[in-house]
Amino acid sequence: MSTPREFDGRVCNGAAARPWSWDPSGPLFARTLFLHAHPDDEAIQAGGLTALLTAAGHRVSILTCTRGEEGEAVPGILPAGAGEAELVARREAEITRARAILGVTDGFWLGTAPALASGAAPRRYRDSGMVWIAPGVAGPAPSAGPRAFSRAELSEEIADARALLAHVRPTVIIGYDAAASYGHPDHVRVHHLARALGRITGIPVLELASTPGQAGWCYRTAREHEATVVAALRCYASQLTVVERTDPALAGLPVIGAPDSGSAAVNAVCDTALTAVYSGEHRPEPDGEPAPQLLIRHVGGQLQELPLWPGLRPAEGASSFSIPESSVPATTAAAHSTPVAE
């Protein structure tokens, strides 16, 4: 396996110091557990990283916390008069296909065994919904009820997730950073849940960068897995579209997470810059940022850029950590004898 190209966030932003680094083929990722908020997040938020890890031969599990009950559906996808049950069934079918394409070993739902606290009755954490509080930035929906994932008792969610940890025995947990992509309340709760699990259990927790080029993060290219990520994204035809890179209809549409979405600057990005970086020739430079490689349009019309440069850093700002060899399968430990952190 060729050595993955590395892009360092601090170098990108002009600082001389080099942060913690990660190797997708290393033993830290032998049994990786991703925490995700909704069906589609494994493809949107972490498709490139997941493909990197499964291609390296690691066992990758995904814990999804809700079934996306509050999400919208593309008109005509569901039968006329379809309700929540039909939407949930569609989401469950979509995530099953997407996980298989990404090479995921197994997937679980929070509140359903084995991701259920001992002695507890099965329970569902509902999608909290969201409202746009600024262009490209989400906030909690005022209608979210007490069983919404972002409003349920965190201690209950921790208990359910810990039951799964005993089943999966992960060597690392991967959640979201504090920005939680575009601030969806369920993504923010995943951030807090992952950190809590790390503090309680001592299992290493990594956070996935919401945006490229942040100082203190280490990025690695997943460009070679673009086709896999696109195929996983296309499983979610009920809620998103992978946008053609030169589509002139992009102009004027808001870009999730972009500053001043809908402004002339964003329109110019949609008209010209995206076409340039999608030519296949773009590579990050020491004083530049990794370019977005994919673009999707959500059912509400918002665009979202998906870099194929996943960035990670240890939670709580730790500079480095390693894992005991006793927690790694013997075959994996023998193949990777170098320290995880540099």
C-alpha span between 6 and 244 (Å, rounded) = 27
Say yes or no to pLDDT of 269 above 60.
no
Q: 62 - beta bridge partners?
A: 34, 107
* Percentage above 70 pLDDT, the chain: 72
Segment 150-164 mean pLDDT: 97
Phi and psi at residue 110, in whole multiples of 5°? -65, 130
Lookup result for tokens 């086709």: 227
Per-residue confidence (pLDDT) for residue 253, from 0 to 100 = 59
Looking at residue 119, its pLDDT comes to: 97
- Neighbour count for residue 221 (Cβ, 10 Å): 20
pLDDT digits (tens, 9 = 90+) for 207-240: 999 887 777 889 999 999 999 999 999 999 999 9
Average pLDDT across the chain, whole number = 78
Q: At what angle do helices 47-55 and 226-233 cross, to 10 degrees?
A: 130
**Residue predicted with more confidence, 19 or 97:** 97
| The pLDDT value given to residue 262 | 36
> Residue 287 pLDDT > 80, yes or no?
no
Cβ-based burial of 228 (10 A; exposed 0-12, middle 13-18, buried ≥19):
buried
Answer whether residue 134 shows pLDDT above 50.
yes
Owner of token pair 């606290």: 117
> Does 184 score more than 50 pLDDT?
yes
The yes-or-no verdict on residue 311 having pLDDT over 70 is yes
Q: What's the CATH class of domain 27-75+87-249+292-314?
A: alpha beta
Q: pLDDT tens digits, residue range 325-342?
A: 334 333 333 333 222 222
Beta bridge partners of 205: 173
* Cβ(294)–Cβ(280) below 8 Å: no
Give bridge partners of residue 220 from the DSSP assignment: 6
For residue 77, pLDDT over 50 is answered with: yes
Is 294 in a helix, a strand, or coil? strand
State how far the Cα of 8 lies from the Cα of 2, in Å rounded to an integer: 18
Is pLDDT at 17 greater than 50 in this prediction?
Answer: no
From 244, 107, 100, 252, select the one nearest 168 (Cα to Cα): 107
pLDDT (0 to 100) of residue 82: 85
- Cβ atoms of 246 and 280 within 8 Å: the answer is no
Can you give the pLDDT at residue 243?
86
pTM of the model: 0.80
Helix/strand number for the chain, H first, E second: 11, 13
Cis peptide before 114 (omega within 30 of 0): yes
Does residue 7 contact residue 301 with C-beta atoms inside 8 Å?
A: no
Each domain of the chain, given as residue ranges in start order, spans 27-75+87-249+292-314
